[in-house]
Chains A and B, each alone.
Chain A
Amino acid sequence: MSPGRRERGLVRPYVVTDGRAYPTRNTFDLVTLVMAHPDRPLAGLSPEKRGVMELCLGGALSVAEVAGYLELPVSVTKVLLGDLVDSGHITTRSPIPPAELPETQLLQEVLDGLRARL
C-alpha cells in the first residue's frame, strides 16, 4: 500500500475524510511541517492516515509534500492531518521563516537621506 501505487479515483475524497471538508484546526499551511510520533499505535487508522504516518516517520515533511505523496487534494490532506494532530499521532511546526528583510519604508528613508546629503 505504498502511496505511489494507489489507484487514483477509486476511493473518493469524501470517503477518505468521512464526508468532512473542514479540518478540526485551522493551523495548516502548505509549508507547515508535519512530524510523526513513532511510538503511537497505528491500529485503527485508515489507510491514508497510515500513509501519513509512514511518510512522516523519517522526518518532517511539509503539508504540500504529504498531499503530493498521498495523491490527495491539499484540502483533504488537511482534514486528515487535523485528525492526526487531535489524536496525538503527529505534531506540526510552522516553517522556519526566511531572514527578516528590512522594511521598504526604512530603506526609502535611508535612500532619501543619502540623496539629501550628496
Chain B
Amino acid sequence: MTDHISEAVSWCLAVVALVVLVLLTRQRRITAGVRRRNAALEESLRARDEEVRHLCDIRLPAVADGVNLPTPLPGLKDEKLAGTTFAQSLHAVMEQFTRAVDKAQSRADASAKSALKASMRALQGLAHEQQVSISQMQDRHDNPDVLRDLLEIDHANSQFGRRAQAIAVLCGSWPGRQRLASSLTDVVRGSKSRIRDYQRVQVHSLIDVAVVSRAVEPVVLAVAELLDNAARHSQPNTSVEVSLQPVHNGACIVVDDAGVGMDGLEVQRAATLLSGQRAVDVSRLGDPPQFGFAVVGLLAARYGFSVSVDTRSPYGGVRAVLFLPSALLTHVDAGAPSAAAAPEERSAPPRTLPSRRRAEPQAPGAATAGIPAQARPVEPAAPAPSPTPRPAPAAAPPAVDDEAARSFGVTAGGLPKRRRREATAAPGPRPVTQTEPDTGSHRVRSAEETAQRMGAFARGTRSGRAAHPETPQESAPRPQDAAPHSEEGNRQA
C-alpha cells in the first residue's frame, strides 16, 4: 500500500515538477522578451535623447547660422528614427525655428539697413554740400598755396562721399546724383577722382562713346569700387591700368592691377557677389567690412551692366572687366565731326570762340536737303538721346534762306560775316548789293536810285570841275523816289 502511495506521490511530484518546469521555461521566455523589449525601449529612449541633444547642439545653431546660406542643413543623427512621429515632431520644431530666425533676421536687417541708409543719406548730403563749397573756393582763390590745400580737402571729401554712397546703395538706396550723359573717359576719370591712390591709375585709349545720363553715377561708383580694390590690393609702386574698349554689343572698361590676385575660392565668392543674385546681408560683411563687390553686384543687377573678375591680369593681378551694353551707351557731340565738316563748308580760318561751335553744325545740316539736325545723330541706334539735345534749327530752313544764313568770310576779329537775310515778304529779284541808308530820312533806296544819284553826283562834280558851272541835276530822281518803294517800310533797317 505504501508502495502505491509513494508511487502516486512520486507521480504527482513528477507532474508538478513538469508543470513547474514548463512554467519556468515559459516565464523565462517571457522575462527574456520583456528584457529585450526593455533594452530596446531604453535604446530608443537614449537615441531620442541624443537626437534632441543633436537638435539643440547642431541642427538649430546651423539654422541660426546659415539662414542666408544655401548650404544643406544637417539631418537626423539616427537614421532609424526616420519616418517616426518623433522625427516629424522634430522636423516641425526645426521649421518653426527656421521661420522665427528668418523673421528676426529680416527684421534686424531691415532696421539696420534703414538706419544706415538714413544716416548715410545725411552724410552724402553733407559731402555734396562740402564739395560745392570746395568748388566755389577753388573758383574764388587764385593762389597755388590755397589750391594745394583745397585739392587735398577735395580729395578726402570725394572719398568720404563715395563711402557714404556705397553703403547707402548697399542698404537699398539709389546712387543719388543725376548727371548729364558723359563720355566714358570722363566716367572713368570721375571714378578715379574718388579713390585714394588716384595717381596710380592710368587711363588709356580714349574712345568716343558716352554713358547715358541715368547710368553715369552707378557706373562711376562701380568703377570706383573696382579701382579701389585694384589699388588697395597691389603694391604702392605699381600702377593700375584702365583701358576702354569698344566691343560689338557695347563697351568694356578693363581694370588691370599688378597685385596679389585672388585664389579660386575668392574668385567664386566674388562671382557670387558680383552676380547680384543674392540679397546682401549688411551684418555679414566681415570685419573690416568688405562691401566693394557687393555694391558693384547690386548696381550691375539694377542697371543692367555686368562685371567679371575671373581672369588673371597680364601683370599677375586681377583683371576686372565691366561690360556696358549698348542700351547704356550714347554719343555726345564730339569736336571731331564738326571740325571735319568745317573745311568743305567754308575755307575761312577756323572759329575763335567755342560758343559758336554749337550753332555751327546746323549750317551743313541744313544745306543737305533740309534735314532737321535732330535726325542725324552719330549713332541712330542709341535708345536714349542725350538729355540736352541740340535745339533743332527753326523749322528746317529751305535752301533759299540758307543762302542768306551762310557766312561769307570773316571779319578781322574772326567773327563770321553774314549777308543780311531778306524779309520773306519781299523775296526777290531785287539785288541787295548796295543798300545805303539815307542818313537823313532813314529810308532805304533801291539800287537803281542809288546809281542814279551817284551818277548825278559824278556828273555834278565833273561839271563843277569844268570851266562854266551848271546846275547839278539832283532833282531828276525825285519823282521815282516817292512812288514805287513805299512797301519798304517794313524792311528792317
Kindly identify which residue among A2, A13, A22 contacts B154, using a CB–CB cutoff of 8 Å: A13
Kindly identify which residue among B135, B141, B151, B351 contacts A19, using a CB–CB cutoff of 8 Å: B151
Residues of chain A contacted by B335 (CB below 8 angstroms): 1-2, 54
Residues of chain A contacted by B180 (CB below 8 angstroms): 5-7
* Complex: A108 Cα to B364 Cα, angstroms: 61
* Complex: A34 Cα to B27 Cα, angstroms: 121
Say yes or no: is A85 at the interface (Cβ < 8 Å to chain B): no
CB-based contact A14/B179 at 8 Å? no
Total number of A-B contacts with CB less than 8 angstroms?
Answer: 117
CB-based contact A4/B355 at 8 Å? yes
Cβ proximity bits A1-18 to B, threshold 8 Å, 1 near / 0 not: 111111111111111011
Nearest B-chain residue to A56, judged by Cβ? B352
* Complex: A30 Cα to B139 Cα, angstroms: 13
Count of residues in A whose CB is under 8 Å from the partner chain: 35
Residues of chain B contacted by A2 (CB below 8 angstroms): 332-335, 354, 357-358
Say yes or no: is A59 at the interface (Cβ < 8 Å to chain B): yes
* Complex: A78 Cα to B148 Cα, angstroms: 13
Say yes or no: is B193 at the interface (Cβ < 8 Å to chain A): yes
A57-81, CB < 8 A from B: 57-59, 61, 69, 73-76, 78
Say yes or no: is A21 at the interface (Cβ < 8 Å to chain B): yes
B182-210, CB < 8 A from A: 182-183, 185-187, 189-190, 192-193, 198-199, 206
CB-based contact B186/A7 at 8 Å? yes
CB-based contact B182/A75 at 8 Å? no
Nearest B-chain residue to A28, judged by Cβ? B142
* Complex: A24 Cα to B282 Cα, angstroms: 48
* Complex: A117 Cα to B302 Cα, angstroms: 90
Kindly identify which residue among B147, B158, B199, B388 contacts A75, using a CB–CB cutoff of 8 Å: B147
Residues of chain A contacted by B354 (CB below 8 angstroms): 2-4, 54-55, 69
* Complex: A67 Cα to B255 Cα, angstroms: 32
Nearest A-chain residue to B338, judged by Cβ? A2
Given A7-B186, A74-B142, residue A58 in contact with residue B349 (CB < 8 A): yes
Say yes or no: is B424 at the interface (Cβ < 8 Å to chain A): no
Say yes or no: is B483 at the interface (Cβ < 8 Å to chain A): no
* Complex: A4 Cα to B335 Cα, angstroms: 11
* Complex: A21 Cα to B150 Cα, angstroms: 9
Distance in Å from the Cβ of A109 to the closest Cβ of chain B?
A: 38
Given A7-B216, A73-B138, A75-B138, residue A12 in contact with residue B186 (CB < 8 A): no
B131-180, CB < 8 A from A: 131, 135, 138-139, 141-148, 151-152, 154-155, 158, 179-180
* Complex: A5 Cα to B179 Cα, angstroms: 11
Q: Classify chain B's interface size.
A: 35 or more
Residues of chain B contacted by A23 (CB below 8 angstroms): 144
Kindly identify which residue among B155, B186, B352 contacts A14, using a CB–CB cutoff of 8 Å: B155
Kindly identify which residue among B138, B145, B216 contacts A76, using a CB–CB cutoff of 8 Å: B138
CB-based contact A75/B333 at 8 Å? no
CB-based contact B148/A22 at 8 Å? yes
Distance in Å from the Cβ of A96 to the closest Cβ of chain B?
A: 14
Residues of chain A contacted by B182 (CB below 8 angstroms): 6-7, 10
Distance in Å from the Cβ of A40 to the closest Cβ of chain B?
A: 15
* Complex: A13 Cα to B139 Cα, angstroms: 11
Residues of chain A contacted by B154 (CB below 8 angstroms): 12-14
* Complex: A14 Cα to B134 Cα, angstroms: 12
CB-based contact A21/B216 at 8 Å? no
Given A73-B139, A76-B147, residue A11 in contact with residue B189 (CB < 8 A): yes
Cβ proximity bits A28-54 to B, threshold 8 Å, 1 near / 0 not: 001000000000000000010000001
CB-based contact A59/B198 at 8 Å? no
Nearest A-chain residue to B335, judged by Cβ? A54
Closest 9 CB pairs of A and B: A21-B148, A12-B193, A10-B190, A58-B352, A73-B138, A59-B352, A21-B147, A14-B151, A75-B147
18 A-B contacts, Cβ less than 8 Å apart? Answer: A1-B185, A2-B332, A2-B333, A2-B334, A2-B357, A7-B179, A12-B155, A14-B154, A14-B155, A17-B151, A21-B151, A55-B354, A57-B350, A58-B349, A58-B414, A74-B139, A75-B138, A75-B142
Contacts A15-B193, A73-B147 known; list 18 others, CB within 8 Å. A1-B335, A2-B334, A2-B335, A2-B357, A4-B358, A5-B333, A11-B193, A12-B190, A13-B151, A14-B154, A14-B198, A17-B151, A19-B151, A57-B350, A58-B352, A75-B146, A76-B138, A76-B147
B residues near A (Cβ < 8 Å) are 131, 135, 138-139, 141-148, 151-152, 154-155, 158, 179-180, 182-183, 185-187, 189-190, 192-193, 198-199, 206, 216, 220, 332-335, 339, 349-355, 357-358, 388, 414
A residues near B (Cβ < 8 Å) are 1-15, 17-19, 21-23, 30, 47, 54-55, 57-59, 61, 69, 73-76, 78
